[in-house]
Amino acid sequence: MKRALVCGAGGFIGGHLVKKLKREGYWVRGVDIKHHEFAPTQADEFLLLDLRQPEHCKQALTAPDGGAFDEVYQLAADMGGMGFISVAECEVLRNNALINIHMAHTAAQMGTPRYFFSSSVCIYRDMEPDEPPLTEEDAYPAQPDNEYGWEKLYAERVATAYGRHYSMQVRIARFENSYGPEGTWRGGREKAPAAICRKVAEADDGDSIEVWGDGTAIRVFTYVDDLVDGIYALMHSDLEGPVNLGSDERVTIAELVQTVIDVSGKDLRIKYVPGPIGVHARNFSKARIKSLGWEAKIPLREGIARTYAWIEAQVNATREG
Ligand code: NAD
């Protein structure tokens, strides 16, 4: 039986990735600095560790027989939506660099054969709404919009260098925004789809909901089941170098908000207010990941319907509690 380590297993994507690996028949160890907030872990073993510390990385990376894991998925990060990463710049830079340096170094030294790193399309520069898609190589010359993106770019280079100098196959995906049930939906770290679902779920017919920006920013939102299928396909491929991973459905924030409102069946007004909105537009080539036969299967409306139902239930449970 293959053994996999998922770092960040107490988080949104890591939690879903554990489920995917269990479906594929793996023995899975999950590691995180905290337990999952919304669902019991499906991992065979779950360790609470702080991966900023090298000795905790070693403990995480040592399989039960004392050897290395067959596959290591590094998703642990101090992160959140724009509201969080625009204010917590020092924490994001320090904590994530420490995690990624110690994880790549220790994994390589321990002889880990395959290492996955979760990067982000935040490593790219801002774009004009009508620009043609950027390919993975267009990350350079680099001009990420925020410090979270700069650290991801640096961490890509760290993992890649260890792959060059050790016998460790490195796979890197640059995720576009992911959303779905069992992700952070309140507290300041939530991302746009979850925040909008929460605001709509809390509103009554006739209310207004506040949305940051002016609604024109363009994004791609990828349902989490599609994302973890893509991670798995990439990890088991020969594709070296960073790979963009996301759906083809580009929408404005206004379209995202309207989709959530439509799904809710409520009659609501939208009030745009100043806030941290990030880049204006995103458009990335998916040719590399599609060369593996992967493509996103869940349309935005269907993914939002599933996510809204889960967040509405959380909101209602909180009210009743
Ligand atoms: P998340 O915040 O839900 O999960 C990250 C997990 O890392 C959390 O559970 C957190 O507790 C854990 N963590 C933080 N510091 C740690 C430490 N010192 N030691 C151990 N664990 C620690 O985020 P997510 O949305 O599941 O994202 C997973 C990965 O994907 C992250 O690396 C993130 O940067 C990347 N990513 C996510 C998105 C997205 O849309 N969600 C987009 C691009 C990239």
Burial label for 31, CB within 10 Å (0-12, 13-18, 19+), is: buried
| pLDDT mean over 112-120 | 98
Residue 234 has pLDDT above 80, yes or no: yes
124 and 170, same domain (yes or no): yes
Inside any domain, residue 292: no
The encoded tokens of residue 11 equal 């988080």
Contact yes or no for 27/69 (Cβ under 8 A): no
pLDDT in tens, 154-186: 999 999 999 999 999 999 999 999 999 999 999
Give the per-residue pLDDT at 321: 77
| CATH value at residue 270 | 3.90.25.10
Residue 320 has pLDDT above 90, yes or no: no
How many domains does the structure of the chain reveal?
2
Query: In this structure, which residue's CA is closest to atom 4 in ligand 1?
Result: 11
Closest ligand 1 atom number to CA of residue 122: 43
Ligand 1, from 5, 79, 227: best to mutate by most atoms within 8 Å of Cβ? 79
Inside any domain, residue 121: yes
Q: 268 alpha carbon to ligand 1 midpoint, in Å?
A: 32
Give the per-residue pLDDT at 81: 86
Q: Are strands 3-7 and 71-74 parallel, antiparallel or unpaired?
A: parallel
255 and 267, same domain (yes or no): yes
Inside any domain, residue 302: yes
Pocket of ligand 1 contains residue 8 by CB under 6 Å: yes
Inside any domain, residue 115: yes
Inside any domain, residue 107: yes
22 and 166, same domain (yes or no): yes
Give the per-residue pLDDT at 276: 86
Ligand 1, from 18, 46, 75, 148: best to mutate by most atoms within 8 Å of Cβ? 75
Give the per-residue pLDDT at 176: 97
| pLDDT mean over 136-141 | 98
Q: Give the rounded percent of residues in the chain with a pLDDT score beyond 90.
A: 96
Considering only residues 256 and 83, tell me which one the structure prediction assigns the higher pLDDT.
256
Ligand 1, from 5, 7, 13, 256: best to mutate by most atoms within 8 Å of Cβ? 13
pLDDT in tens, 261-301: 999 999 999 999 998 888 999 999 999 999 999 999 999 99
57 and 200, same domain (yes or no): no
Residue 153 has pLDDT above 90, yes or no: yes
| CATH value at residue 37 | 3.40.50.720
Give the per-residue pLDDT at 171: 98
Give the per-residue pLDDT at 255: 98
Average pLDDT, the chain: 97
Catalytic residues: 148
What gap in Å lies between CA 71 and CA 188, rounded to an integer? 32
Q: Give the rounded percent of residues in the chain with a pLDDT score beyond 70.
A: 100
161 and 122, same domain (yes or no): yes
Pocket of ligand 1 contains residue 84 by CB under 6 Å: no
Give the per-residue pLDDT at 244: 98
Pocket of ligand 1 contains residue 74 by CB under 6 Å: no
Neighbour-count burial for 221-238, b at 16+ CB within 10 Å, e otherwise: bbbbbbbbbbbbbbbebe
Residue 7 has pLDDT above 90, yes or no: yes
Inside any domain, residue 264: yes
Pocket of ligand 1 contains residue 77 by CB under 6 Å: yes
Using alpha carbons, list the distances in angstroms from residue 228 to 112, 239, 251: 21, 16, 21
Residue 297: count of CB within 10 angstroms of its CB: 12
107 and 44, same domain (yes or no): yes
What is the band of 24 on the pLDDT scale with cuts at 50, 70, 90? very high
The domain of 203 spans 179-220+249-283+297-314
| pLDDT mean over 26-51 | 97
Inside any domain, residue 319: no
196 and 235, same domain (yes or no): no
Pocket of ligand 1 contains residue 30 by CB under 6 Å: no
51 and 168, same domain (yes or no): yes
Inside any domain, residue 77: yes
| pLDDT mean over 61-70 | 97
| pLDDT mean over 81-107 | 96
193 and 120, same domain (yes or no): no
Pocket of ligand 1 contains residue 52 by CB under 6 Å: yes
38 and 161, same domain (yes or no): yes
Give the per-residue pLDDT at 277: 83
